[in-house]
Copies of this chain bind each other. A is one copy, B any other.
Amino acid sequence: MALSTQPYKGTRDFYPDDMRIRKWMFTQLREVCEQFGYEEYDTPILEPIDLYTAKTSEEIVNEQTYTFEDRGGRRVVMRPEMTPSVSRLVAGKRQELGYPLRLYSIPNCFRYERPQRGRLREFWQLNADLFGVDGIEADIEVIQLADACMRAFGAKPEMFEIRINSRMAFEEMLEKYGFSPSLGPKILSLMDRMNKPEEFKKKLNTFEPAIQQRIGQFIESVQDRGAEFTETSAGKNMMVLLGQLQKMGIPVVVDPTIARGFEYYTDIVFEVFDTNPENNRSMFGGGRYDGLVGAFGVEPLPTVGFGMGDVTLLNFLSSNGLVPALAPATDAVVLLMGDSDEKAQAAIKELRTAGLNVAVDYTSRKLDKKLKAVDKAGIQFAVFIGPDELQSGQFNVKDMFSKAEDKVSLDRVLKFIKDFQQKK
């Protein structure tokens, strides 16, 4: 029986066309991160399970990880997110590294979820983290960086909105309303489901019946963004942050319902929303997590970071018409009119040395078939090389898009191509 050509459920094949878009996206992200002084790193895809049991959200670890035992009996996980790994990395050289330390990476992550719009089982995620700054400047920079990433793609400030919240302010509120701090994560996780009424109700029912009503009231007071919330000590800090970001022209608002699914966040958290009414959803987010590096037995380190997934980003860019047409890396295909002998190879080498990316059609098909294949591959130029051309030193070059054609010497082929070439 023939093997299936389908990729594994919830994952994607990247044909050259798709790969070009991914590379373009990642190149933009890399440039912005490096402009802000972030350096790229990477960690292995496999991690021991205890890296996640402590701090990642319960839902992800118990229901969504790819967890298995290796041939040596070690329980391993294909990383569902990067934050625990980068914390491990930094803790591993806690003393040797210089601070503030700025790191970024674009790893692929794995979650066993029901594939749907914006959610796949294998996705890439820009992670940018700033280590070693406990002041509000770090939160400002990371949100500024998230904004700069969006702008680099041509996103206008009216296309997205950054909603911020403070976990510390939330905890102050909890205390004020007489809830035990230990209930915090559970209430946060409940608030995280506010836009999904059924899930919310189900989750609310897991609380003791006696306090369900009080929790509802508490959530209402947090939600109204009133003085009670923003005048907690952490709330005031958040308002300063808000003011400074707004001065920079960043589209930011306070939203006390922003929870983020991860338990490691300690204060400011934020989520970036698509403002398109037809697609009004959280695209990505981040926040401050001052406790994670210290979990590796080293001196704790204040940290702020965010993660931006490629699937939601590409949806956003596509629906806003922000994905450009991208050409293949190959400039020209050489169509051989004779043998692939030493002279022909020397001519091909000359074109490559001049800086052109040149493929060669070595098949014995008829010319029209060869030209059709160049078209199919979306490559713009064809260069004809055969005994006559090698004899006369004049080579036919054809622009497959405009159909312009010329007979030029080898050293003019480059000029012809550069003159007619469309943006790569």
**A residues lining the B interface (CB < 8 Å):** 2-9, 11-16, 19-20, 22-23, 34-48, 50-51, 54, 63, 66, 68-72, 74, 76, 78, 88-89, 91-93, 96-103, 108, 110, 112, 121-122, 132-133, 135, 137-138, 140-141, 247-248, 295-298, 328-330, 333, 340, 342, 345, 352, 356-364, 372-377
Q: List 10 A-B contacts (CB under 8 A).
A: A3-B297, A5-B296, A7-B47, A7-B88, A13-B41, A36-B352, A37-B357, A38-B330, A102-B330, A102-B359
A99 is contacted by which of B38, B96, B296, B373 (Cβ under 8 Å)?
B373
C-alpha gap A37/B138 in the complex (Å) = 44
The reply to whether B360 and A103 form a contact with Cβ atoms under 8 Å apart is no
Question: With a CB–CB cut-off of 8 A, which chain B residues contact A51?
Answer: 3
The reply to whether A3 and B54 form a contact with Cβ atoms under 8 Å apart is yes
A380 to chain B, nearest CB (A): 13
C-alpha gap A38/B329 in the complex (Å) = 8
The reply to whether A2 and B296 form a contact with Cβ atoms under 8 Å apart is yes
User: Quick one: closest B residue to A369, CB to CB?
Assistant: B99
The reply to whether A377 and B98 form a contact with Cβ atoms under 8 Å apart is yes
Question: With a CB–CB cut-off of 8 A, which chain B residues contact A363?
Answer: 99-100, 132-133, 135
Question: With a CB–CB cut-off of 8 A, which chain B residues contact A20?
Answer: 40
**Given A122-B45, A295-B2, also A359-B37 (CB < 8 A):** yes
The reply to whether B358 and A91 form a contact with Cβ atoms under 8 Å apart is no
C-alpha gap A286/B361 in the complex (Å) = 21
Question: With a CB–CB cut-off of 8 A, which chain B residues contact A13?
Answer: 41-44, 88-89, 92
The reply to whether B295 and A44 form a contact with Cβ atoms under 8 Å apart is no
C-alpha gap A340/B70 in the complex (Å) = 50
User: Quick one: closest B residue to A293, CB to CB?
Assistant: B5
C-alpha gap A342/B358 in the complex (Å) = 50
C-alpha gap A9/B72 in the complex (Å) = 10
Question: With a CB–CB cut-off of 8 A, which chain B residues contact A333?
Answer: 37
